[in-house]
Amino acid sequence: MAQEIEQYLMLKFRNGLDGKDKSISKIPRDKLFYLNNVFTECQMLTRKHGFNSPEDLLTINRIRRELNKIKRELKATKDKLQPNNGVSSTQDKETSLQHTEISRWTTRVVDDSKVYGFDDNVVSMEKLLLEKESHDRFKAVGIVGREGIGKTTLCQLIFNKAEVKNNFLPRIWVCMARHPDDDEDPKLAIVKRMLVQLGVEKKMVNFIFNEKSGLQGLLCALYQQLVGKRYLIVLDDARETDSWYGQLDSCLSRDKKWDDGFAFGLPKGDGGRVIVTSRNEELAKMMVGEENIHRLLPLSDPESCWKIFKDAVENDLILSNPPNLEDLKLEINQKCGGLPLAAKMMGQAMQEELPK
């Protein structure tokens, strides 16, 4: 994959320099700088003659996502310059948005038949959420770990467990990443998103914001939607380090205003639960407290990594009964470093190399 990207970029740059490819002159300067950096990274990776570490695989995954993002942005620019005065069809807009959401957005949906190695973590987290000692008290838990280790997957499995569904209502999934359509303060965007997921119509959300003192009104409305309910909220992929998101167990006091903290929109007396996932452990500690951190470790079982790899290859005939099966499983586990995403990428890379 790295070699293919390198060859493509080299061709584009050469054509651009020779004047053969006029489109490259229309690429914004910041994108050209980024593409140049990508080109350098791909050269470094191809000189290794293969992927020698999980970091290499994650780098390729990041490059692929960024290149897809640039491709979409350039397509949008091209559409604006077309003879129809920049008006794309409704179908084109919907397709573009769907592609953007798929690449950047997480949801509650998971195919648990293709998830391996998380059983112990699921049991541990489920016990933590359902413990009787804190049945009526608010609790916030943080799941931390490096990129590709499976934080979102673990949350998806927990979120969809029958026992969890029976004990928490409502349950809402909030992706904390910036949505492509968000052009406002992240605080506003997240609270509005939560209200919509709780069933409040967008018109009403905008009315509350415009007529009821902005963020204060939104947080007050969020509180009213959740009060008296044993809710479960997943805040996936937290990145904002603003202290406004901190100490989720805090309650509104007389010397505070509604919009002084995210926590004030979350009722504390009916057993509500919040799960935060983040690569940034210090951020998660700020939000839930150090004693409530669950550190997700790489998969240690070669069998789990092998199953993830095999599913990604999508060719049972090739991998049905190799003569060195156990050695191959160990090699996959070592190369992916126990990271599910890295094992999946190795399988996808092999699948792309198979004859069609």
pLDDT in tens, the chain (356 residues): 555 555 555 555 555 444 455 555 555 666 666 666 666 666 555 555 455 566 666 666 667 767 777 777 777 766 766 655 444 444 444 444 344 333 457 889 999 999 999 999 999 999 999 988 777 899 999 999 998 999 999 999 999 999 999 999 999 999 998 776 666 889 999 999 999 999 999 999 999 998 767 999 999 999 999 999 999 999 999 999 999 999 999 999 989 999 999 999 999 989 999 999 999 999 999 999 999 999 999 998 889 999 999 898 876 656 666 678 888 888 888 888 999 999 998 888 877 776 65
Whole-number Å distance between alpha carbons of 297 and 276: 16
For 124-295, CATH number out of 3.30.70.2170, 1.10.1200.10, 3.90.1170.50, 3.40.50.300 equals 3.40.50.300
Cis peptide bond N-terminal to 170, omega within 30: yes
Q: What is the pLDDT of residue 48?
A: 53
pTM: 0.75
**Radius of gyration of the chain measured on its C-alpha atoms:** 23
Question: How far is CA 197 from each of CA 8, 31, 269, rounded to the nearest angstrom?
Answer: 42, 35, 22
| DSSP states along 198-267 | TT--HHHHHHHHHHTTTHHHHHHHHHHHHTTS--EEEEES-----GGG--TT----TT--GGG-GGGGS-
| DSSP states along 61-128 | HHHHHHHHHHHHHHHHHHHHTSTTTT---HHHHHHHHHHHHHHH---S---GGG--S-HHHHHHHHHH
Q: Where are the domains of the chain?
A: 2-80+91-104, 124-295, 302-353
199: left (phi over 0), alpha (psi -120 to 50) or beta: left
